[in-house]
Amino acid sequence: MARGLATSAQIVVNADTPASLDAALTHVSAFLDAEPGAEATVRVVYVEGLRNGLATARHLAFARRHLGSVSTFVPVCVPGSPPHAQLARFASPPNCHDCVLYQGHACQGFGFEAQPFEGLTAGPALLPVDRPASTFRNEDFRAQTPVCYWRPEAEVVAQIAMWIRAAGGSVWDVGGANGYLSGLLAQAFGLTATIVDPLSCYPTPEGTRRIVADVRTLFPPPPDALLISWPPTGDGFRDVVKRLRPAVVIYARDQAGHCGRTPGHRRVRARASGLEIEAFDVDDFARMAGYRRVYLREVQCRRDGPEERSGLLEIRATAAARERYRTLGASKPASPPDKADRPAQE
């Protein structure tokens, strides 16, 4: 096992008996003990054979041993879980989605879902864009259900639009959900904007089109530009950029590290027989061969105060797109570009 590399890990534990759970968690403990300063989320998949007090006792002993460095949970309805005596009568296993505790975010379920609560049908995570995108105001970004996780100010949107035009005029809004950014670009700048997202619960903004699919299942012909806005933690779509090779890539992301992977991130699967470790030693947002950063600006996140800017908007372009940008008579980018195209360390 490599040492000194894992600064964070997402660990899934698969077992079917209390004894095999104990063995799997022993492997996880050894992994954490060998990595000083490591932090991890540990998701135990509670199959039927683990829904008993013996399994719970082993899980809680593991949690106590790694208190402060591990985030983990025991389903409320499983005997032995800390809130079982008070709350189990409100639970309705085995269907977590029908359970009031799961619906109320009081329990993360049996651990079958990589992202808990993502299957809830209580409502969309973002406001539907059912009117012209330009009519949304500051309060729509501050709402409990916002229209966008960051506020695209006019200057930023103009730069995005100009670089998409320099790329050729078409853009895929990767994971675009409600399509707010696509709507802005299509309605205000006449660009060909396509929302690519597995979700189909939102209306499609006027002037845009929607492809209901995982972007990783789509193949060329690729768009001229990719817009990757607020990707989920652990996925910066670096592989998609490398495969589609758009002329321009636009990233809007959280500077606090909640988007993409950083060097040292690990995805670990634990079984009684041992660990399977997938390592990510390249930052999702590190330099990529063939692209130069042409624009960089801090942007306001939903959680920020009026003067705070904890988001980051970055635009990268190929040499051909940069040349076309110049021929379009665009103004000089507001932030200094990288000095040279240098190969990425893949």
CATH of the domain at 154: 3.40.50.150
- Do 64 and 137 belong to one domain? no
Please say whether the beta carbons of 108 and 101 come within 8 A: no
Per DSSP, the three-state class of 112 is coil
pLDDT at 58: 96
Per DSSP, the three-state class of 226 is strand
In a domain, 40, yes or no: yes
pLDDT at 341: 42
In a domain, 125, yes or no: no
Please give the structure tokens belonging to residue 79. Answer: 């005997």
- Do 96 and 142 belong to one domain? no
In a domain, 88, yes or no: yes
- Do 95 and 197 belong to one domain? no
Whether the pTM exceeds 0.85: the reply is no
| Residue-by-residue pLDDT tens, the chain, 346 positions | 333 344 578 899 999 999 999 999 999 999 999 888 788 889 999 999 999 999 999 999 999 999 888 989 999 999 999 999 989 999 989 888 888 888 878 899 999 887 777 656 545 789 999 999 999 998 999 888 899 999 999 999 999 999 999 999 999 999 999 999 999 999 999 999 999 998 888 999 999 999 998 899 888 788 999 999 998 777 889 999 999 999 999 999 988 767 877 777 788 888 999 888 877 777 888 889 999 999 999 999 988 888 899 999 999 999 999 999 999 875 554 444 454 344 333 3
In a domain, 127, yes or no: no
- Do 95 and 27 belong to one domain? yes
Cα torsion 259, 250, 118, 279: sign = negative
- Do 171 and 299 belong to one domain? yes
Beta-carbon contacts of 155 under 8 Å, excluding residues fewer than 6 positions away, are 334
- Do 92 and 139 belong to one domain? no
- Do 219 and 138 belong to one domain? yes
CA–CA dist 203, 130 (Å, integer): 7
In a domain, 317, yes or no: yes
The boundaries of the domain holding residue 179 are: 133-260+284-327
Q: In what order do the strands lie in the sheet with 8-13?
A: 70-72, 39-44, 8-13, 265-271, 274-280
Please say whether the beta carbons of 167 and 247 come within 8 A: yes
Distances, alpha carbon 120 to alpha carbons 39, 53, 176, in Å? 28, 28, 19
- Do 142 and 223 belong to one domain? yes
In a domain, 181, yes or no: yes
- Do 70 and 153 belong to one domain? no
Spatial CA neighbour of 208 closest among 190, 229, 221, 227: 190
- Do 56 and 146 belong to one domain? no
- Do 93 and 156 belong to one domain? no
In a domain, 275, yes or no: no
In a domain, 67, yes or no: yes
Domain count, the chain: 2
Spatial CA neighbour of 42 closest among 18, 7, 67, 73: 73
- Do 178 and 224 belong to one domain? yes
